[in-house]
Structure 1
């Protein structure tokens, strides 16, 4: 999955501007499924029919990443910007970014005063993003426009993916793991299911605009009638020494089986099935209770007459920054448990709210 992850995180696709990702995902999964479409919002919906009768299952992950958008070009060529998704102003200073223009990609940097001026400034001050600017080397507004900069150009962190430490750690640092890592899991499962029989119908939905309110999932969920759904996303761990951290979720300890977040209380029968499979197949997992996030699972659970929904979470450090960190063991555990869930389904599979009914 390392290669998949590298390919996915290189792509430029912040909220609402996921076109390069939608196209790449569509073309990549097309040989693996029976049908693939891209809806008017940009969601990629891929369907594969199993060898036996069984339930209709949805698995989903979001393609968008947090980013920015060009708001104004100053006369001196510096660029003002707005946020797309949940960026933290504390992370912004002196970070490299990439602006997508009609003529190509531009490298920029979010500017800051030199360290030599710090003694004349308030060192504790965190400037609002609207006070900041991006420098692309332009000497004037006209120069920036000649480079292709326009109001409305989408912006992401500059792409990178490296081993954290070295190969022996099994951990990676880069941008966009939220949720290109989930997309990699879905694609890997589709590749492996090409060799494994399963029952029922499997629909993989790669959604857009998750980071601005689960918008893509809300649209996509209305297009499918499913018996069960599993969303795959990253989640913030709490295993570092800050005073707000409670060490309830750790990187490298396995996939997170969600109990609840602010968008979803996991369906009891789906959650219990995931726990049972993880125990039976000795897949490392940890339980996740974290009201600080939401996922596409929340939108899926409310679709149509309600879809029994669970979530598998890939533990991540430094979420929504250019240096997100994940562990390959967690990524593989997430993939293995999702695949085990799919392969466990048969014509008798039901996910009732009340046991035995």
Structure 2
């Protein structure tokens, strides 16, 4: 799965500009599924039929990553920008970014004053992103335009995935794990299902624009009549020493089985099935109550006449930054529990609210 993750996080796809990711995912899952399509918004919807009768299951992850978009080119060539998704102004200064123009990729940095000027500034001030700028090394506006920059050019963090520490830690650092890690799990699961008999139909939905309000999932969910859904996403752990952290979720402690977030109260039958399977298969897990986030599971649960929905969360540190951190053990636990859920389905499977 490491290779899948490297390939996915190298792709440039902020909210609303996921074309490279949609194309790569479509081409990758095409030989693994019976049908695949890209809808008008950019969601990739791939369906694989099992060898036996059974329910229709949706498993979903989002392809977009937080980023930025160029809104103005100054006369000196510096670029003003707006946010795409939830970026924290405190993390922006001096970070490398990547711009995707019509002709290719450009490297930039979000500028800041030199440390030598700090004594003349308010050291505690956090400047709003609208006061900041991206420097791509050009001397003037004409040069920036010549390189292909225009109003609307999308921007992400500069890709740079590697081991945190070294390979013995089993932890990766990089951008876009939210939620390319979930996409990697979906693809790995589809690959492993090639060697398995399973019941029913599995529809893998790779969504767009999750980071700006679950927009892709809302559109995709209306296109699928499903009996049950599992959403995959990362979740922010609370195992570092800041005073706001409560140590309820930890990196390396297993996949998160969602109980509640602000977009979803997990369907009890789905949640209990996931817990049962994790215990039965000895898959490490932790229960997640975290109202600070939402996932595509919220949109899926409200689709059509309502879909019983659960969420598997991949624990992550430093979310929405260029240095997100995940643990390979948690990634594999998420994949193993998702696969176990698929293989446990049968013609008799039901997810009624009262039994």
Fold shared per TM-score above 0.5: yes
**Long gaps (5+) in structure 1:** none
Deviation at residue 233 of structure 1 after TM alignment: 0.2
Match of 1:204 in 2: 204
Match of 1:21 in 2: 21
Residues 99-146 of structure 1, C-alpha deviations (whole Å, 9 max, x = no match): 000010000000000000000000000000000000001100111101
Match of 1:48 in 2: 48
| 1:10 equivalent in alignment to 2:17 | no
What is the CA–CA distance in structure 2 between the aligned matches of 1:144 and 1:6, rounded to whole Å? 30
Secondary structure of the corresponding residue to residue 3 of structure 1: helix
Match of 1:88 in 2: 88
Match of 2:105 in 1: 105
In the TM superposition, 1:125-274 aligns within 5 A as 125-274=125-274
What is the CA–CA distance in structure 2 between the aligned matches of 1:293 and 1:8, rounded to whole Å? 23
Deviation at residue 264 of structure 1 after TM alignment: 0.1
Residues 62-94 of structure 1, C-alpha deviations (whole Å, 9 max, x = no match): 000000000000000000000000000000000
- TM-score normalised to the size of structure 1? 0.99
Deviation at residue 155 of structure 1 after TM alignment: 0.2
RMSD: 0.3
Secondary structure of the corresponding residue to residue 190 of structure 1: helix
What is the CA–CA distance in structure 2 between the aligned matches of 1:230 and 1:254, rounded to whole Å? 17
Deviation at residue 320 of structure 1 after TM alignment: 0.3
Secondary structure of the corresponding residue to residue 105 of structure 2: strand
What is the CA–CA distance in structure 1 between the aligned matches of 2:229 and 2:53, rounded to whole Å? 17
Deviation at residue 219 of structure 1 after TM alignment: 0.0
| 1:76 equivalent in alignment to 2:76 | yes
Structure 1 stretches of 4+ moved >2 Å: none
What is the CA–CA distance in structure 2 between the aligned matches of 1:164 and 1:198, rounded to whole Å? 37
| 1:285 equivalent in alignment to 2:285 | yes
Deviation at residue 23 of structure 1 after TM alignment: 0.1
What is the CA–CA distance in structure 2 between the aligned matches of 1:344 and 1:305, rounded to whole Å? 24
**Equivalent pairs, count:** 355
Residues 25-57 of structure 1, C-alpha deviations (whole Å, 9 max, x = no match): 000000000000000000000000000000000
Match of 1:306 in 2: 306
What is the CA–CA distance in structure 2 between the aligned matches of 1:165 and 1:123, rounded to whole Å? 31
Match of 1:324 in 2: 324
What is the CA–CA distance in structure 2 between the aligned matches of 1:82 and 1:89, rounded to whole Å? 11
